[in-house]
């Protein structure tokens, strides 16, 4: 019994050992195939006779706010020919068909080759050995538009189709921008081997769709050609992205910025226009100088983090207003003749003035560096710098905007409590005037926009929805970042200061007859620290503000870097661009115009009443009734009358005597009535000027006998 048991155990162990051995062999073989021989097996798989490959999908569109196409994919086609197609017989490939095809290719595809050259080429391809490389996939034409591809499909031999004529048509979508360079950098691109840029890159997963599957067959020369014209699995097109951009405002911003950069021969510049209530980006323009000309080479508005200079002074004054340091804009501030030494550094005002004191309003409006730094240093310099920085953070100036377009860098605001931030004794006064901190133009504009929006900070955004076939898929709504960055009183006083810059300060040169603006100029020095003189000084000119000043609709920032001629201050270089954008937006947008009937109309004074206007009785009476003007008239008026202003604000219709045979008086008439009366009495008429008749050369009452009467209109 024991022997039998041992024999069974031996057999079990033998079977188990055999199973383990087989498992080891299988695992070893799997390792060899999947790891050691992976490249060889992949090459063999790629050499299969047929295989499925990805078929590109139709990329989604990028649209402006009104639905205008900013970027779209247009279908273009590549034509190839299979000279050894299975169904291409000699009866189909006959001399007549080849001659006709050669003539059509020479006429419509490439005119540098004669029909004879095309015929010889086609015959040589047809008669080449079967294994000749490329014989089954001969390029005929590339990037043909749809209508021309359809035309080529009707050519002899090609019209027989894929199997009988060897005609291979492949779609090759190409990205096009109907508005060419408009918002070029913001729209962006995706390219193989390059980092994605702009909206094309940020929303690539939404725009690209899903590829389909196309069955390809291997032909001699290790070339794969499509088996069918249609994909086995149809690609799914990408969704559309609808932006907040207004193409009209975008065009205005780009043209105004380009003109300024050219005028001042600047290195680069940017301009942003934002809708105050919502945070929608209505325009974002970037211009850079290159050896080939002016292009959108980089998104400076979002990606360039620099010291903002005097545009930052708004934050400094708002911090002091919030802390009650400033209560009266007329209180005096020492400015020491425009020059002061703080520790071992000298601080000067950009424009010499020689004043010992200024009011708070003047310090801000005239952008006094000394006055601003003195106020901040006196109130926060003795251990209170942290309170000042805390106020700046409370204004949201330490926050990135998280705009949908990539490339934004976070703001840098030094902290006196952080030993690694580089805080020094002179940091506070220089920070107060916009140095020793870094912000992008969009981040600074977001702060100004909050002031324009009564303290409510909105997240700037440039995409409002994605959609498929016109139906919304996802919508992006206005987002409130901070309900209030400061008290209502502080915000109102900040607006008052910004208005004073345009009314009486550094930006008074941009005062407009059409629209009231508010904002702050800024001139930053780029290539040396704390105003120490050096050779080759480079400047950055800026202006940030909003319009209309009393009821803001848009906020805007303009920054132009390294202007070389025509001035370098913000007032000279950037502020005029802001004014141009504001005035042209005002002209385009009816909602910015106050309604003409919002106030009750006042009665016209006598000098403003229509007087000595003449014409037909029916016309004048109808006009006066339509205008709502009361009038009196003589009894038994004829067909022609004249208006005369009577006492007060009343009007009187008087008789204008017109003779059938004498030259009538047409003074005060419109040209139509004057010509009618004169030509009906046989007179010839010549006209000079526009408006109403103010003088006539033939005296009224003169016998009419075919004379020429010259009418002078004003």
Do 403 and 529 share a domain, yes or no? Answer: yes
In a domain, 645, yes or no: yes
**Does residue 585 or residue 10 have the better pLDDT?**
585
3-state SS, residue 368: coil
Do 284 and 175 share a domain, yes or no? Answer: no
In a domain, 478, yes or no: yes
User: Are the C-beta atoms of 467 and 243 separated by less than 8 Å?
Assistant: no
pLDDT category of residue 603 using cuts at 50, 70 and 90: low
3-state SS, residue 302: helix
Tell me which range, 24-33, 45-54, 119-128, 475-484, is most confidently predicted by mean pLDDT.
475-484
**DSSP state at residue 265:** T
Specify the pLDDT at position 100: 93
**DSSP state at residue 229:** S
Do 586 and 626 share a domain, yes or no? Answer: no
**Does residue 647 or residue 448 have the better pLDDT?**
448
In a domain, 147, yes or no: yes
Specify the pLDDT at position 530: 45
pLDDT category of residue 532 using cuts at 50, 70 and 90: very low
Beta strands in 129-280 (DSSP E): 138-145, 167-171, 174-176, 212-219, 223-226, 240-243, 268-275
Do 439 and 343 share a domain, yes or no? Answer: yes
In a domain, 663, yes or no: yes
Specify the pLDDT at position 386: 93
pLDDT category of residue 625 using cuts at 50, 70 and 90: confident
Measured CA to CA, the distance from residue 493 to residue 461 in angstroms comes to 28
Q: Which of 207-216, 300-309, 474-483, 640-649 has the lowest mean pLDDT?
A: 640-649
User: Are the C-beta atoms of 434 and 307 separated by less than 8 Å?
Assistant: yes
Among residues 524, 557, 592, the one where a domain terminates is: 592
N- to C-terminal Cα separation, the chain: 139
In a domain, 300, yes or no: yes
Specify the pLDDT at position 49: 65
Tokens of 504: 């009486």
Tokens of 32: 């060899």
CATH of the domain at 322: 3.40.710.10
**Does residue 375 or residue 616 have the better pLDDT?**
375
Mean pLDDT over 56-76 rounds to 90
Phi, psi at residue 472, to the nearest 5°? -60, 135
Neighbours of 357 (CB within 10 A): 14
Asked if pLDDT for residue 175 goes beyond 70, the answer is yes
Asked if pLDDT for residue 526 goes beyond 90, the answer is no
Specify the pLDDT at position 9: 73
Tell me the residue length of the chain: 714
Where do we find the tokens 């894929």?
Answer: 162
Do 171 and 297 share a domain, yes or no? Answer: no
Do 265 and 353 share a domain, yes or no? Answer: yes
**Does residue 293 or residue 263 have the better pLDDT?**
263
How many structural domains compose the chain?
3
Specify the pLDDT at position 377: 93
In a domain, 485, yes or no: yes
Specify the pLDDT at position 231: 58
Specify the pLDDT at position 592: 82
Residue-wise pLDDT tens digits, 248-282: 999 999 999 999 999 999 999 999 999 999 999 99
Mean pLDDT over 58-73 rounds to 92
Do 435 and 583 share a domain, yes or no? Answer: yes
Specify the pLDDT at position 449: 98
In a domain, 600, yes or no: no
pLDDT category of residue 247 using cuts at 50, 70 and 90: very high
Burial environment of residue 620 by CB neighbours within 10 A (0 to 12, 13 to 18, 19 or more): buried
Among residues 592, 625, 649, the one where a domain terminates is: 592
Strand order in the sheet with 640-645: 614-616, 640-645, 651-655, 631-633
Beta strands in 245-301 (DSSP E): 268-275, 281-290, 293-295
pTM, whole model, 2 decimals? 0.75
In a domain, 344, yes or no: yes
Specify the pLDDT at position 189: 85
Asked if pLDDT for residue 527 goes beyond 70, the answer is no
Specify the pLDDT at position 265: 95
Task: Express as a percent the part of the chain with pLDDT over 90.
Answer: 49
Task: Determine the structural domain holding residue 229 and report its residue range.
Answer: 53-60+78-181+211-236
User: Are the C-beta atoms of 287 and 294 separated by less than 8 Å?
Assistant: yes
Specify the pLDDT at position 536: 64
Neighbours of 638 (CB within 10 A): 12
Do 518 and 384 share a domain, yes or no? Answer: yes
Asked if pLDDT for residue 687 goes beyond 50, the answer is yes
Asked if pLDDT for residue 64 goes beyond 60, the answer is yes
Do 269 and 326 share a domain, yes or no? Answer: yes
Q: Which of 308-312, 499-503, 589-593 has the lowest mean pLDDT?
A: 589-593
Burial environment of residue 676 by CB neighbours within 10 A (0 to 12, 13 to 18, 19 or more): middle
Where do we find the tokens 């079977």?
Answer: 15
**DSSP state at residue 311:** G
Do 366 and 489 share a domain, yes or no? Answer: yes
Do 534 and 502 share a domain, yes or no? Answer: yes
Burial environment of residue 24 by CB neighbours within 10 A (0 to 12, 13 to 18, 19 or more): exposed
Residue-wise pLDDT tens digits, 204-244: 999 988 877 767 777 666 666 676 666 566 778 889 999 99
User: Are the C-beta atoms of 485 and 279 separated by less than 8 Å?
Assistant: no
Task: Express as a percent the part of the chain with pLDDT over 70.
Answer: 90
Phi, psi at residue 511, to the nearest 5°? -55, 135
Specify the pLDDT at position 230: 61
Burial environment of residue 678 by CB neighbours within 10 A (0 to 12, 13 to 18, 19 or more): buried
Do 531 and 565 share a domain, yes or no? Answer: yes
Specify the pLDDT at position 360: 94
What mean pLDDT, rounded, does the chain reach? 87
Q: Prior bond to 703 cis, omega within 30? A: no
């Amino acid at each position: 019994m024991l022997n039998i048991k041992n024999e069974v155990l031996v057999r079990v162990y033998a079977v188990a050992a055999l199973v383990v051995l087989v498992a080891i062999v299988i695992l070893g073989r799997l390792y060899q195939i999947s790891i050691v021989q992976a490249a060889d097996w992949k090459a063999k798989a790629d050499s299969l006779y047929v295989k499925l490959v990805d078929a590109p999908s139709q990329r989604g569109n990028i649209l402006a706010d009104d639905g205008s196409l900013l970027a779209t994919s247009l279908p273009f086609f590549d034509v190839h020919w299979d000279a050894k197609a299975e169904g291409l017989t000699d009866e189909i490939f006959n001399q007549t068909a080849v001659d006709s095809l050669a003539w059509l290719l020479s006429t419509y595809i490439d005119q540098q080759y004669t029909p004879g050259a095309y015929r010889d080429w086609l015959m040589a391809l047809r008669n080449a050995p079967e294994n000749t490389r490329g014989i089954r996939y001969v390029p005929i034409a590339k990037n043909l538009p749809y209508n021309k591809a359809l035309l080529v499909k009707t050519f002899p031999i090609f019209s027989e189709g894929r199997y009988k004529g060897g005609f291979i048509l492949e779609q090759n979508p190409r990205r096009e921008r109907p508005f060419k360079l408009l918002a070029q950098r913001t729209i962006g691109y995706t390219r193989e081997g390059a980092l994605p840029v702009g909206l094309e890159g940020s929303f690539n997963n939404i725009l690209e769709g899903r590829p389909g599957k196309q069955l390809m067959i291997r032909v001699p020369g290790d070339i794969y050609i499509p088996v069918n014209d249609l994909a086995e699995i149809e690609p799914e097109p990408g969704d559309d992205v609808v932006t907040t951009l207004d193409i009209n405002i975008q065009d205005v911003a780009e043209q105004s910025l380009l003109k300024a950069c050219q005028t001042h021969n600047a290195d680069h510049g940017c301009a942003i226009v934002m809708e105050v209530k919502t945070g929608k980006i209505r325009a974002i323009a970037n211009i850079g100088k290159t050896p080939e000309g002016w292009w959108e080479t980089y998104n400076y508005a979002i990606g360039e983090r620099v010291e903002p200079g005097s545009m930052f002074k708004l934050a400094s004054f708002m911090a002091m207003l919030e802390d009650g340091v400033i209560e009266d804009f007329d209180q005096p501030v020492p400015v020491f003749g425009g020059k002061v030494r703080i520790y071992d550094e000298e601080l000067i005002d950009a424009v010499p003035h020689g004043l010992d004191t200024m009011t708070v309003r003047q310090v801000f409006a005239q952008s006094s560096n000394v006055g601003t730094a003195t106020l901040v240093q006196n109130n926060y310099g003795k251990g209170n710098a942290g309170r000042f920085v805390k106020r700046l953070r409370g204004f949201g100036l330490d926050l990135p905007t998280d705009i949908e377009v990539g490339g934004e860098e976070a703001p840098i605001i030094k902290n006196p409590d952080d030993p690694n931030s580089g805080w020094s004794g002179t940091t506070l006064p220089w920070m107060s005037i916009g140095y020793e901190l870094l912000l992008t133009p969009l981040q600074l504009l977001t702060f100004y926009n909050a002031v324009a929006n009564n303290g409510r900070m909105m997240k700037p955004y440039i995409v409002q929805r994605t959609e498929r076939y016109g139906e919304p898929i996802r919508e992006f709504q206005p987002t409130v970042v901070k309900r209030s960055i400061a008290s209502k009183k502080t915000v109102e006083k900040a607006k008052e200061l910004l208005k004073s810059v345009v009314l009486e300060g550094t930006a008074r040169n941009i005062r407009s007859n059409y629209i009231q603006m508010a904002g702050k100029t800024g001139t930053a020095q780029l290539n040396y620290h704390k105003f120490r003189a050096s050779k080759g000084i480079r400047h950055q000119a800026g202006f940030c503000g909003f319009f209309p000043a009393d009821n803001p609709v848009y906020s805007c920032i303009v920054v132009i870097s390294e202007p070389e001629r025509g001035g370098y201050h913000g007032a000279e270089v950037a502020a005029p661009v802001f004014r141009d954008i504001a005035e042209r937006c005002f002209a385009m947008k009816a909602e910015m115009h106050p309604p003409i009937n919002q106030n009750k109309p006042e009665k016209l004074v006598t000098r403003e009443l229509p007087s000595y206007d003449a014409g037909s009785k029916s016309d004048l009476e109808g006009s006066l009734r339509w205008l709502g003007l009361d009038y009196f008239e003589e009894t038994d008026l004829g067909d022609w009358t004249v208006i005369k202003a009577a006492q007060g604000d009343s009007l009187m219709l008087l008789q204008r005597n017109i003779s059938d045979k004498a030259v009538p008086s047409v003074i005060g008439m419109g040209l139509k009535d004057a010509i009618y009366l004169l030509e009906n009495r046989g007179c010839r008429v010549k006209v000079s000027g526009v408006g109403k008749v103010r003088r006539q050369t033939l005296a009224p009452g003169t016998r009419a006998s075919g004379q020429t009467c010259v009418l002078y209109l004003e």
